Amino acid sequence: MKEKNVKKNYIYNVAYQLLVIITPLLTAPYISRVLGVDGIGVFSYVTAIAAFFIIFATLGTSTYGQREISYVQADAHRRSVVFWNTVIFRCTSTAIFLLIYGIFVFALRPEWMIIYIIQFIEIINVACDTSWFFQGLEEFGKIVGRNAIFRLINLAMVFTLIKDENDLALYTAATAIITMAGHVSLWAYLPKYLTRISKSELTPFADTHVILGLFLPTIAVQIYQYLDKIMIRLINGGSTENGYYEQAMRITKMVLVLVTSMSTVMVPRIGRYFEEGNKDAIRNAMYKAYRFAWFLGLPLMFGLFGIADNFIPWFYGPGYEKVIVLLKIVSAITVAISINNVTGIQYLVPTKRENLYTKTVLYGAVINFCFNLMLIPKLSSYGAAIASVIAEASIAIIQLFVIRKELEIKHIIAPIPKYLFSAAMMLLLLIVESRLLPNTIIATFIMIVSGAAVYFILLLILADSFFIENAKSVINKISSKLSGVKK
């Protein structure tokens, strides 16, 4: 197979991840008004419960499948064996946890029963999803193209079918069904990449220990992400605080896609370098990945903090004022997650040190749980937000300590001053603009554009080589394409 372009695949993956997140975000102003804070809280709580079953149904197969496919990209027969072994394992685990979820729902008969029942579809989606296969092949264009259609259909369905708070079940069902349609559509591409294999080559459970090893960090991360919502509900006894917390985290996750999408692209690349024993290539790629994380992570953190006062009032409408402070708090996790994503996902996992990665994430999960216990009773959703920031920062620091003898810390942190200074200057501008401009979509757009302009102009003045080289690359590609069109 021909060498894939990392920049192109990054753009594809950003587009894919944004499609996954941006459609609910685009509908958020409408949904927040139609379903209300309580409706959003119910949706957040029930999906958090179902997410645990989805996580266990998936186990570590997404990371495992992507990594193993990256090792055998050029061998059609071997990748076919990996594919079918992984699919059979996923179908088996999905069936098991679908049954357990059914027992849980029908035995306990919880409130909002219909919403719980609809989540059966989301669990089945685990078996339908083959995006990990195309990610391992570094074929991100396939994923984006198919899913774009179904995300747009979902967008249209929300605005045409969801009319009031009684449509919560319809909203939940539409989201789940459209997701399934997107997954199923990818199967049409598979025959091109797969060959016939014999039944004797199928050993779907031979690497169970490896899959479980990759699952441990996943469950640790997901537990403390969803544990926040569950603990808020159990401690406060209502859905309102969950609604506030969900909306703040949703915005943060959307902007984080710009940074963390690089991991999906880098994992197969680092995995291939590791298989080839090319340590120099790994080091060079990792230093660039860290620089990229600082380059985007710091301005995203300050940017979210700076636009919160102007953005939230018009975006979510009356009754969501608390989200302003929550967004300012959780904006800090953009930098922490950016760094631990590079160290953990892009470095430790593809180099087969998932055990080390697991330990660092478990430390973070314990820290998150402890701070949740201390802060949620006193500060409600604010406490959960603070706990998440502390946990993510702890993971980033611990992971950097773990790899200090393999990658030089001074090279990792060297780019910080330029990006920190430029982002801080951008924040000062945003604070001034927030006080002068009205709370409108146009004002927020002006703030984003002017803030980005200040950040990039300062990097140009400071002669940041990373920014200048990539800017030149983009300009040259655009120029060459325009020249081709003119000819």
Per residue in 124-158, pLDDT (tens digit) is 999 999 988 988 887 877 777 777 788 788 888 88
Residue 445 has pLDDT above 80, yes or no: yes
pLDDT bracket for residue 487 (50, 70, 90): low
Query: Does one domain contain both 397 and 286?
Result: yes
User: Taking the chain, what is the end-to-end CA distance rounded to the nearest angstrom?
Assistant: 31
Over residues 443-448, mean pLDDT: 96
Q: Tens of pLDDT along 68-83? A: 888 888 888 999 999 9
Residue 214 lies in a domain: no
Helix, coil or strand: residue 2: coil
Residue 88 has pLDDT above 80, yes or no: yes
Residue 2 has pLDDT above 50, yes or no: no
Query: Does one domain contain both 24 and 140?
Result: yes
Over residues 409-431, mean pLDDT: 96
Query: Does one domain contain both 196 and 288?
Result: no
Query: Does one domain contain both 324 and 409?
Result: yes
Least reliable range by pLDDT among 91-105, 145-159, 310-324, 342-356: 145-159
Query: Does one domain contain both 7 and 132?
Result: yes
Residue 56 lies in a domain: yes
pLDDT bracket for residue 354 (50, 70, 90): confident
Instruction: Scan for tokens 């757009």, then name that residue.
Output: 445
Residue 59 has pLDDT above 70, yes or no: yes
| The domain boundary residue, chosen from 186, 206, 226 | 206
Query: Does one domain contain both 186 and 288?
Result: no
Over residues 159-178, mean pLDDT: 89
Residue 487 lies in a domain: no
Return the pLDDT at 486.
Answer: 53
This prediction's pTM:
0.74
Q: Half-sphere exposure (CA, 13 Å, Cβ side) for 384?
A: 26
Residue 465 has pLDDT above 50, yes or no: yes
Over residues 234-263, mean pLDDT: 81
| The domain boundary residue, chosen from 191, 206, 221 | 206
Query: Does one domain contain both 468 and 337?
Result: yes
Residue 266 lies in a domain: no
Residue 215 lies in a domain: no
Query: Does one domain contain both 291 and 193?
Result: no
Query: Does one domain contain both 167 and 309?
Result: no
Distance CA 435, CA 453 (A): 19
Mean residue pLDDT across the chain: 86
Residue 42 has pLDDT above 90, yes or no: no
Q: How many domains does the chain have?
A: 2
Q: In this structure, what DSSP letter does residue 239 have?
A: S
CB-based burial, 86-122: b 16+ in 10 Å, e otherwise: bbebbbebbeebbeebeebbeeeeeebeebbebbbbb
pLDDT bracket for residue 232 (50, 70, 90): confident
Query: Does one domain contain both 193 and 304?
Result: no
Return the pLDDT at 292.
Answer: 92
Task: Mention every residue, 6+ apart, whose C-beta is less than 8 A from residue 254.
Answer: 18, 21, 22, 25
Query: Which percentage of the chain shows pLDDT scores above 90?
Result: 44
Residue 477 has pLDDT above 80, yes or no: no
CB 364 within 8 A of CB 394: yes
Over residues 253-260, mean pLDDT: 82
Return the pLDDT at 268.
Answer: 74
- Could you list the residue range(s) of the whole structural domain that residue 148 is in? 1-206
Residue 220 lies in a domain: no
Residue 257 lies in a domain: no
| The domain boundary residue, chosen from 152, 177, 206 | 206
Distance CA 109, CA 123 (A): 18
Give the DSSP letter string of 108-140: H--SSHHHHHHHHHHHHHHHH--HHHHHHTT-H
Query: Does one domain contain both 313 and 450?
Result: yes
pLDDT bracket for residue 1 (50, 70, 90): very low
Per-residue CA distances from 312 to 20, 308, 421, 444 (Å): 21, 6, 26, 10
Query: Does one domain contain both 27 and 152?
Result: yes
Residue 246 lies in a domain: no
In 193-332, alpha helices (H): 208-236, 240-276, 279-316, 322-330
Return the pLDDT at 67.
Answer: 84
CB 6 within 8 A of CB 265: yes
